[in-house]
Amino acid sequence: MRNLTMMTDLYQLTMMDGYYLEGKANQTAVFDLFFRQKDEINYAVFAGLEQAIDYIRDLHFSSEDVEYLRSLKVFHPQFLEYLKNFKFTGDMYSVREGDIVYPQEPIVVIKAPLIEAQLIETALLNIISHQTLIATKSARIVQAARGKSVVEFGLRRAQGPDAGIYGARAAIIGGCNGTSNVLTGQMFDIPVRGTHSHSWVMSFDSEIDAFRAFAEVYPDTCLLLVDTYDSVQGIKNAITVFNELKAAGHKPVGIRLDSGDIAYLSKLARKMLDDAGFKDAVVMASGDIDEYLLESLNNQGARIDMYGVGTKLITSEGTPSLGGVYKLSAIERDGKLEPRMKISDSIVKVTNPGLKTLYRIYDKSSGMAVADLIALEGEKIQKPLVLTHETERWKTTTLEDYGIRCMLNKIFENGKNVYEQPSLGRIVEFAESEKAKFWDEYKRIDNPQIYKVNLSDGLYELKHKILKQNKSK
């Protein structure tokens, strides 16, 4: 396990130095991690908790770390001495990996000594924002695939090794059912998939020779890439080799298309394979595929059974960042937590104050999610529950018969990891079950229905009380 303690921004450490010198180091603070609205992200699939737990559990400054910081000639000697015994001693709450989450919701809450909570901001945002972003992109792509298999193919285009490894993990949480990344497969027990590349074909004197050689080596898993030279001729050559495999008692898997007019070629390939007696042979498509191309292919009646999705998934093309933020929401004063709130002329940057929790409300009869509720910790939830729009207060929804789930789970208590991390397989099962509890209207790619995320009465009143107090200053 790598020690990522030094993976932080310099200003986190300079603030920690200042907190220490000002006697604020052990002042209890509460920080919320959430993300802001993005045009292409109407919901997100939470991921990265396992790596965040590993990071916090291993927090410590080595002697080499301390000496490096000393060499910067920025920090006070007594602060550097303090770092030698540094560890996380606070509490952490989080939603589960695979949970569907929405903008402004506290998806991770840290309650810890101020100096500790400050340090972990950068790494938590890095780990969770990246994996959540890729899991979300994956979910959108898998949704657009309409039940067809999607394999993550993006390692070579990922923005570095970690992005490739943990991006592939996140893609599985989002709904992909395999990866080309062998290391990720080994680390997380994920199915690995692959065929061959154009170089295999080009290394032989002819395409048919290349196909025959591949079929000889892999007679029972033979899936041939047919677009190295001419796609139509490639399909014909594949069928010739498939007939030879069939005569030898083997069953070919299918073909892969990586370029050209995928919609047209897939329909042509399907007809050619069917006519040749290979109705079970799959047509796989790869290339620059995303949810928008998939929607287009579906509308054109493309005959594709499986997709290999690379660049646009692993880089989350179109939405390069989640917009994750980490804001102070309460701080200890005279032995009590006093709410804090970021105020801005931009409504989206106004934060929600206080120590909070997050609830998901389900319709009792259908089991479907109907709304989320951000409430103050300890605030009683009434029945019937009246949900009120935060800004358009005349918009209300009254729920009589509902189920409720507290989404924030305790992960660390007094610095001890108290959460039993499920296997990746269990995370995927949970993610699929939760996605199924949201109507398709909330998940559609374009112009989705807005899912209700409400503030409790107590949180709403606290927020506006602080706004009024600030206005009168």
At residue 472, the pLDDT reads 57
The pLDDT of 191-206, averaged and rounded, is: 96
d(CA 59, CA 1): 11
Query: Confidence band (pLDDT; 50, 70, 90) for 468?
Result: confident
Task: Report the alpha-carbon distance of residue 265 to residue 285 in Å, rounded.
Answer: 10
The predicted structure's pLDDT at residue 473: 54
**Contact by Cβ (8 Å): 151, 308:** yes
CA 358, 364, 367, 370 torsion-angle sign: negative
- The confidence band for 345, taking pLDDT boundaries of 50, 70 and 90, is confident
pLDDT recorded at residue 390: 76
> Could you tell me what percentage of the chain is helix, strand and coil, using 3-state DSSP and rounding each to the nearest 5?
40, 20, 40
101 φ/ψ angles, rounded to the nearest 5 degrees:
-130, 160
Q: Which element (helix H / strand E) includes 108? A: strand 108-113
Q: Over 80: is that where the pLDDT of 365 sits?
A: yes
pLDDT higher than 80, residue 202: yes
- Where in the chain are the domains? 10-134+320-472, 135-314
Token duo for residue 15: 């603030």
Cα 322 to the center of its chain, rounded Å: 9
pLDDT number for residue 23: 97
CB 150 within 8 A of CB 289: no
Q: Residues of the chain with pLDDT > 70: what percent?
A: 99
34, 107 contact by CB (below 8 A): yes
Span 368-383, mean pLDDT? Answer: 94
Average pLDDT over residues 353-357: 97
Name residue 223's beta-bridge partners. 254
What CATH number has the domain spanning 10-134+320-472? 3.20.140.10
Q: Which of 16-25, 151-160, 333-342, 383-392 has the lowest mean pLDDT?
A: 383-392
Kindly state the average pLDDT of the residues 239-267. Answer: 97
Tens digits of residue pLDDT in 45-63: 999 999 999 999 999 999 9
The mean pLDDT value for 160-182 works out to 98
* Mean per-residue pLDDT, 16-36: 97
Pairing verdict, β 100-101 and 91-94 = unpaired
CATH of 135-314, one of 1.10.3720.10, 3.20.20.70, 1.10.580.10, 3.30.360.10: 3.20.20.70
Asked whether this chain's domains 10-134+320-472 and 135-314 adopt the same fold, the reply is no
Reduce the secondary structure of 292-339 to three states and give it as a string. Answer: HHHHHHHHCCCCCCEEEECHHHHCCCCCCCCCEEEEEEEEEECCEEEE
Q: What dihedral angle (degrees, nearest 10) is formed by the CA atoms of 4, 132, 171, 155?
A: -50
Six-digit token pair at 75? Answer: 């920090």
- Structural Rg of the chain based on CA atoms: 26
Burial of 2 (0-12, 13-18, 19+ CB in 10 A): exposed
Q: What is the pLDDT of residue 411?
A: 98
d(CA 118, CA 112): 9
Q: What is the pTM of this model?
A: 0.95
Contact 49, 411 (CB under 8 A): yes
Tokens of 6: 């030094």
pLDDT above 80: residue 98? yes
How high is the mean pLDDT of the chain? 95
Tokens in use for 36? Answer: 């802001």
Burial class from Cβ neighbours inside 10 Å (0-12, 13-18, 19+) for residue 51 reads buried
Q: Tell me what the mean pLDDT of segment 56-81 comes to.
A: 98
The amino acid present at 300, given as its one-letter code, is Q
Q: Average of pLDDT values for 87-114?
A: 98
259: pLDDT strictly greater than 90: yes
- Res 343 pLDDT > 70: yes
